[in-house]
Amino acid sequence: MSSRHLARSIVFQSIFEWDFRNSSREEALLSLERNTAEFGEGNSEKVFSESLLKGVIDKKADLDNIIVKAAPDWPIEKISMTDRNILRIGLYELLFSDRKEVPAKVAINEAIELAKAYSGEKSGGFVNGVLGTIYKELGEPGKEETSKNRKDIPFEKMPIQQLAGAVVYSIEDGNIYFAFVHDVFGRWTLSKGKIEQGEDPKNGAVREIKEEMGIDITIEDELLKNEYVANHPELGKIRKQVIYFLARTERKDLTLGPSGGLDDAKWFKLQDIETLNFYNDILPIITKAITIISSKK
């Protein structure tokens, strides 16, 4: 199921872009193709992904009407863009998927997992409540169905993928500025990417920042190492190990590289970054960077 879970994540990302940009169906399919190439690494569920994306878009009006009826206190435009697109995906699978392929409980649980991963703390409960209400209205079909999950791989035996990134800063007229990238899930984060075979992590970070933000950087310090588990379409669960550096550059215009997962790159003054929406695991890295920079000043 790991490949299906990844496929749903990529479809969600593409549906989010489609909703955010008010794109056409054809543009959404191109977005799916781009995001699959960026994050899927040979996703084996191409047919599933395309079918799910097309279905959600084609049934959007019906899905939204059902969501409104199940959550009358939440007009569709008042539901966050993240949550409403997760609901659309979950509801489409609940109503229109082949239950032999996607049992009802799998459709609901997968939507809850998307909400936990990409939305706020209470979103999992909200998505569960809406889809659960609809599920009960349907008579709880397939109540005893269970999914055929792939056997979990022990953590120590998971394949490892190495990445490198950086906290990029500049000092101008006595002010400290940081360069961040913004992803389609509404979070500001650090630029990072995969280290190539045999590549030094520092060189990998320099290359990735150049490709992603269009600037040349100078590595100054190693900050922290971060590790998390992700799903690979062929390998299943893998360990992603990221090493972050502190890097300095001149404050020049940022040019966002071609990436389906990012939609912006900007400079921010130090005093302004506390208002930004970061992922929790990024905050300690930025905090350490600020401490080092302040000691140098």
Mean pLDDT of the chain: 86
Express each pLDDT in 106-123 by its tens digit.
899 899 999 988 887 788
- Residue that wins the pLDDT comparison between 1 and 221: 221
Say yes or no: 120 and 159 in one domain. Answer: no
Question: Of 82, 104, 137, which closes a domain?
Answer: 137
Q: Count how many residues are written for the chain.
A: 297
Say yes or no: 160 and 129 in one domain. Answer: no
Say yes or no: 39 and 108 in one domain. Answer: yes
Note the pLDDT of residue 5. Answer: 85
- Which range of residues forms the domain containing residue 60? 2-137
Note the pLDDT of residue 259. Answer: 58
CA pair distance 99, 43, nearest whole angstrom: 22
Say yes or no: 100 and 202 in one domain. Answer: no
Tokens of 110: 């997968």
**Is 173 part of any domain?**
yes
Say yes or no: 63 and 179 in one domain. Answer: no
Note the pLDDT of residue 14. Answer: 94
Q: Structurally, how many domains does the chain consist of?
A: 2
**Is 248 part of any domain?**
yes
Average pLDDT over residues 207-212: 94
CA pair distance 75, 78, nearest whole angstrom: 5
The count of other CB atoms within 10 Å of the CB of residue 123 is: 21
210 in Cβ contact with 223 (< 8 Å): no
**Is 65 part of any domain?**
yes
221 in Cβ contact with 292 (< 8 Å): yes
**Is 142 part of any domain?**
no
Say yes or no: 109 and 170 in one domain. Answer: no
Say yes or no: 171 and 120 in one domain. Answer: no
Question: Of 78, 111, 137, which closes a domain?
Answer: 137
Q: How confident is the model at residue 261 (pLDDT cuts 50, 70, 90)?
A: low
pTM of the shown model: 0.53
**Is 150 part of any domain?**
no
Please name which of 82, 76, 20, 86 lies closest in space to residue 56, comparing C-alpha atoms: 86
Residue type, 31: S
**Is 272 part of any domain?**
yes
Note the pLDDT of residue 149. Answer: 44
Say yes or no: 164 and 292 in one domain. Answer: yes
| CATH code for the domain in which residue 16 is found | 1.10.940.10
**Is 147 part of any domain?**
no
Q: Which residue has the tokens 């940022």?
A: 254
Note the pLDDT of residue 197. Answer: 87
CA pair distance 226, 228, nearest whole angstrom: 7
CA pair distance 142, 100, nearest whole angstrom: 9
CA pair distance 297, 170, nearest whole angstrom: 12
Note the pLDDT of residue 55. Answer: 95
Tokens of 172: 């101008």
Tell me how many degrees the CA angle 88-89-92 measures, rounded to the nearest 5: 80
Which residues make Cβ contacts (< 8 Å) with residue 246, sequence separation at least 6? Answer: 166, 167, 169, 219, 220, 221, 222, 223, 289, 292, 293
Which residues make Cβ contacts (< 8 Å) with residue 141, sequence separation at least 6? Answer: 99, 104, 135
Beta bridge partners of 163: 194, 242
Q: How confident is the model at residue 184 (pLDDT cuts 50, 70, 90)?
A: low
pLDDT at 152 over 90: no
pLDDT at 205 over 50: yes
Dihedral angle at the C-alpha atoms of 268, 270, 274, 277, nearest 10 degrees? 30
**Is 148 part of any domain?**
no
- Residue that wins the pLDDT comparison between 33 and 169: 169
Say yes or no: 253 and 124 in one domain. Answer: no
Say yes or no: 132 and 167 in one domain. Answer: no
pLDDT at 86 over 50: yes
Q: How confident is the model at residue 2 (pLDDT cuts 50, 70, 90)?
A: low
Q: How confident is the model at residue 296 (pLDDT cuts 50, 70, 90)?
A: confident
| CATH code for the domain in which residue 174 is found | 3.90.79.10
Tokens of 15: 């549906």
CA pair distance 45, 48, nearest whole angstrom: 5
Say yes or no: 44 and 81 in one domain. Answer: yes
Q: Indicate the SS3 state at residue 105.
A: helix
Average pLDDT over residues 57-67: 91
CA pair distance 140, 104, nearest whole angstrom: 8
Note the pLDDT of residue 1. Answer: 37
CA pair distance 180, 168, nearest whole angstrom: 8
Q: How confident is the model at residue 145 (pLDDT cuts 50, 70, 90)?
A: very low
Say yes or no: 129 and 168 in one domain. Answer: no
